[in-house]
Chain A
Amino acid sequence: MKLSIFKTNHFGKCNRTARMFKSIALTGVFVWGFIFSGFSQQVKTMQTISGRITYSNGRPLAEATVTVDGKRAGTQTDNNGNFSIQVPVDGGVLLISHVGYKTASFKVIDNHPVAVELTQEDVALDSVVVVGYGTQKKINLTGAVDVVSGEVLQNRPAANVAQLLQGESANLNISLSTVGGEPGATRNWNIRGLGSINGSSSPLILVDGVESNVDDIDPETIQSVSVLKDASASAIYGSRAPFGVVLITTKKGTRNKGVKISFNSNFAWATPIRLPHFTDSYTWATVYNEAQANAGLTPVYPDAQVARIKGYQAGTYKPEYDTANPPQIIWNGRWEGNANYDWPSLFFKSNSPSNKLNVNLEGGDDKTQYFVSAGHFYQGGLYNWGNDSYKRNNLMANLSSKVTDWLKFDVGVRYSQTSGDYPLGIVGQVRQYNLRSIFSFGPTTPMYNVDGTLANPIMVSFLNSGREKTSSNDLWLKLGGEIEPIKGWKTGLTYNYNLGNTGDFQNPIPVPVNIPNGTIGNIGSSTSGVVENQGSTNYYILNAISSYEKNLGQHFLKLMVGYEEELYDYQSLYGSKMDLITTEVPSISTATGTTTLGDTKGHWSTQAVFGRFNYNFAEKYLFEFSGRYNGSSRFASDSRWGFFPSASAGYNISKENFWDPIARTVNSLKIRGSYGSLGNQNVPNYLYVPTVPVFSNLNYVLDGQRPNYANIPAILPSNLTWETVTTVNLGLDATFLKNRLGLSFDIYQRTTSNMFGPAQDLPAVLGTSVPYENNAEMRTKGFEVSLTWADATSQHFNYHVKLTVGDNTSTIVKYQNTSRVIDTWYDGKRYGEIWGYQTDGLIQTQGEQMPDQSKFYPTWGPGDMKYKDLNGDGKITDGSRTLSDHGDLKVIGNITPRYNFGLNAGFNWKDFSFNMFWQGVAKQNYLPDRNANVFWGVIPGGSPGSESSIDKGSPALNYWRPADETNFLGPNTNAYFPKPYFDYDEFMKNHQDQSRYVLNAAYLRLKNVQIGYTIPTKYSSKVFIKSIKIYASGENLITITSLPKVLDPETVFVSDAALGGIEATSLIYPLSRSVSFGINITF
Chain B
Amino acid sequence: MNLINRCVILLLLFFILQGCQKDLLDKLPEDQVSSDVFFLHSNDMQIYMNQFYDDRIIPVQWGQILNNPYNGGADDFNSDNEVSSNGLDPRLQGTRTATTGITGPGLGWYFGDVRNINYFFDNYRKCVDDFSTYSEWVGEAHFFRAYIYFLLLKEFGDVPYHSKTLGTNSPELYGPRTARNLVADSILLDLDSAAMYLPSASVANGTRVNKWVALQLQTRVALYEGTWEKYHATDVFAVKDANPEKYFNKVVDAATQMMGSGQLAIYNTGNPSTDYFDLFRMRDYAASTEVIFWKQFSVALGITDDKLYLLEYPYGKSLTKSLADSYLCTDGLPISVSPLFQGYNTISVEKKNRDPRYYQTIFTPDEAWKIDTDTELWVDAYVNLNTSTEFYAPTGYVLHKTYDPRMVYHSLNYEETPAIHFRYAEALLNFAEAKAELGTITQADIDNSIGLLRARAGMPELQMNNITTDANWEFPALSPIINEIRRERKVELATEGFRWPDIARWAAADELIIGKRPKGFKGSQIASTYFPVDANGFLDPFQTTIPGGYGFNPNRDYLDPLPLNEIVLNPQLTQNPGW
Proximity bits, A705-716, B CB within 8 Å = 1, else 0: 111111111010
A604: chain B residues at CB < 8 Å are 27
Asked whether, in the complex, the Cβ of B112 is within 8 Å of the Cβ of A768, the reply is yes
Q: Which residues from B are CB-within-8-Å of A768?
A: 112, 115
Q: Is the CB of A699 within 8 A of B102?
A: no
Instruction: Tell me whether A969 is interfacial, beta carbon within 8 Å.
Output: no
Binds A, one of B66-74, B191-199, B203-211, B465-473: B203-211
| Chain B residues whose CB sits within 8 angstroms of the CB of A765 once the complex forms | 111, 114, 160, 162, 166, 172-173, 175, 570
Contacts of B55 in A (CB 8 A): 699-700
A542 interface residue per 8 A CB criterion? yes
Q: Are A708 and B50 in contact (CB under 8 A)?
A: yes
Cβ of A58 under 8 Å from chain B = no
Candidate in A699, A700, A770 with the most chain B CB atoms within 10 angstroms:
A700
Are B34 and A702 within 8 A (Cβ)?
Answer: no
Q: Tally of A-B residue pairs with Cβ under 8 A?
A: 192
| Shortest distance from the beta carbon of B209 to any chain A beta carbon, whole Å | 11
B179 to chain A: closest CB distance in Å? 16
In the complex, B337 has a CB within 8 A of chain A: no
- In B166-182, the 8 Å CB interface with A consists of 166-170, 172-175
Is the Cβ of B28 less than 8 Å from the Cβ of A607?
Answer: no
Residues 943-959 of A contacting B (Cβ, < 8 Å)? none
Interface residue from A631, A686, A759 paired with B28 (Cβ < 8 Å): A686
Known: A485-B6, A601-B30, A686-B29. Is A702-B24 also a contact (CB below 8 A)?
Answer: no
Chain B 23-38 per-residue mask, 1 if CB under 8 angstroms from chain A, else 0: 0111111111111101
Write the chain B residue with the least CB distance to A492: B13
Min CB gap B153→A, angstroms: 15
User: Which A residues are CB-close (under 8 A) to B34?
Assistant: 689-692
Contact partner of B295 (CB less than 8 A), chosen from A493, A565, A700, A762, is: A700
A799 at the interface (CB under 8 A from B): no
Q: B546 → chain A, closest Cβ, in Å?
A: 29
Contact with A711, one of B1, B31, B110, B116 (Cβ below 8 angstroms)? B116
- Interface 0/1 of B544-574, CB less than 8 Å to A: 0000000000000000000101100110010
Q: Which of A605, A694, A701, A718 has the most CB of B within 10 A?
A: A701
* CB 8 Å contact bits of A587-614 with B (1 = contact, 0 = none): 0000000000001111111110000000
CB contact under 8 A between A483 and B168, given known A603-B30, A699-B54, A710-B48: no
Interfacial chain B residues near A260, Cβ < 8 Å? none
In the complex, A721 Cα to B21 Cα: how many Å?
A: 23
Please, which residues of chain A bring their CB within 8 A of the CB of B7? 485
Interface-facing stretch out of B227-235, B254-262, B297-305: B297-305
Cβ-closest chain A residue relative to B53:
A700
**Does the CB pair A698–B29 fall under 8 Å?**
no
Question: In this assembly, does A671 line the interface, its C-beta being within 8 Å of a C-beta of chain B?
Answer: no
B3: Cβ under 8 A from any A Cβ: yes
Looking at the assembled complex, report how far the CB atom of B498 sits from the nearest CB atom of chain A, in whole angstroms.
23
Out of A493, A544, A631, A710, name the residue touching B25 (CB < 8 Å): A631
B47 within 8 A of A: yes
Q: Report the Cα distance A762→B172, complex, angstroms.
A: 11
Contact B24–A701 (Cβ < 8 Å): no
Instruction: From the candidates B28, B35, B205, name the one contacting A703 in the complex (CB within 8 A).
Output: B205
| Neighbouring A residues of B160 by C-beta, 8 Å | 765
The docked-state distance in angstroms from the alpha carbon of A767 to that of B160 is 12
Residues in A whose Cβ lies below 8 Å from that of B115: 712, 766-768
From the candidates B25, B114, B119, B175, name the one contacting A640 in the complex (CB within 8 A): B25
The CA of A767 and the CA of B296, in the complex, are separated in Å by 29
Q: How far is the CB of A770 from chain B (nearest CB, A)?
A: 6
Is the CB–CB distance between A693 and B301 below 8 Å?
no
CA A768 to CA B105, docked complex, whole Å: 11
CA of A605 to CA of B30, assembled, Å: 14
Asked if A764 lies at the interface with its beta carbon under 8 angstroms from chain B, I say yes
Q: How far is the CA of A544 from the CA of B298 in the complex (A)?
A: 62
List of A residues within 8 angstroms of B474 by Cβ:
none
Tell whether B464 is near chain A: CB-to-CB under 8 Å.
no
Of A406, A485, A692, which one neighbours B33 at CB under 8 angstroms?
A692
Q: A684 to B271: give the CA distance in the assembly, Å.
A: 65
Interface membership of chain B positions 45-73, coded 1 if the CB is closer than 8 angstroms to chain A and 0 otherwise? 01110110111000000000000000000
Is B109 in the interface zone, CB < 8 Å from A? yes
Q: Are A690 and B6 in contact (CB under 8 A)?
A: no
What is the minimal beta-carbon distance from B183 to any residue of chain A, in angstroms?
A: 13
* Cβ contact within 8 Å between A710 and B50: yes
Check B53 against A764 for contact (C-beta < 8 Å): no
Contact with A along B133-172 (1 / 0, CB 8 A): 0000000000000000000000000001010011111101
- Please state if B208 and A702 are interface contacts (CB–CB under 8 Å): yes
Q: Evaluate contact between B27 and A563: CB separation under 8 angstroms.
A: no
The answer to whether residues A710 and B44 also contact, given A631-B25, A632-B25, A704-B296 and a CB cut-off of 8 A, is yes
Indicate if the CB atoms of B24 and A567 lie closer than 8 Å: yes
Interchain CA distance A601-B47 in the complex, whole Å: 23
- Judging by beta carbons under 8 Å apart, are A483 and B33 in contact? no
User: Does B10 touch A at the CB level, under 8 Å?
Assistant: yes
Give A730-773 as 1s and 0s: 1 = Cβ < 8 Å from B's Cβ atoms: 00000000000000000000000000000101111111101100
B47 touches A710 (CB 8 A): yes
Kindly state the separation between the CA atoms of A704 and B298 in the bound complex, as whole angstroms: 8
Asked, given contacts A544-B13, A763-B566, A764-B566, whether A483 binds B32 with beta carbons under 8 Å apart, the answer is no
| Cα distance, A708 to B38, chains bound together (Å) | 14
Judged by a CB distance under 8 angstroms, whether A491 is at the interface is: yes
Closest residue on chain A to residue B301 by CB atoms: A706
Check A542 against B303 for contact (C-beta < 8 Å): no
Q: Could you give 26 example pairs across A and B, Cβ below 8 Å? A: A406-B6, A407-B9, A493-B13, A542-B20, A600-B31, A606-B25, A607-B25, A633-B26, A689-B34, A690-B36, A692-B34, A692-B38, A694-B32, A701-B295, A701-B296, A703-B205, A709-B47, A709-B51, A711-B116, A713-B35, A764-B102, A765-B111, A765-B175, A766-B111, A767-B113, A767-B115
List of 10 A-B pairs having minimum Cβ-Cβ separation, nearest first: A767-B115, A703-B204, A709-B50, A767-B111, A485-B6, A633-B27, A601-B30, A691-B32, A690-B35, A701-B296
Interface positions of B (Cβ within 8 A of A): 1, 3, 6-7, 9-10, 13, 16-17, 20-21, 24-36, 38, 44, 46-48, 50-51, 53-55, 102, 109-116, 119, 160, 162, 165-170, 172-175, 204-205, 207-208, 295-298, 301-303, 563, 565-566, 569-570, 573
- Residues of A whose CB lies within 8 Å of any CB of B are 404, 406-407, 483, 485, 491, 493, 542, 544, 563, 565, 567, 571, 599-607, 631-633, 637, 640, 685-686, 689-694, 698-713, 715, 718, 759, 761-768, 770-771
Given A602-B31, A607-B24, output 12 extra A-B contacts at Cβ < 8 Å: A404-B1, A407-B1, A485-B7, A491-B10, A606-B25, A685-B29, A690-B36, A691-B34, A711-B116, A712-B115, A766-B170, A767-B111
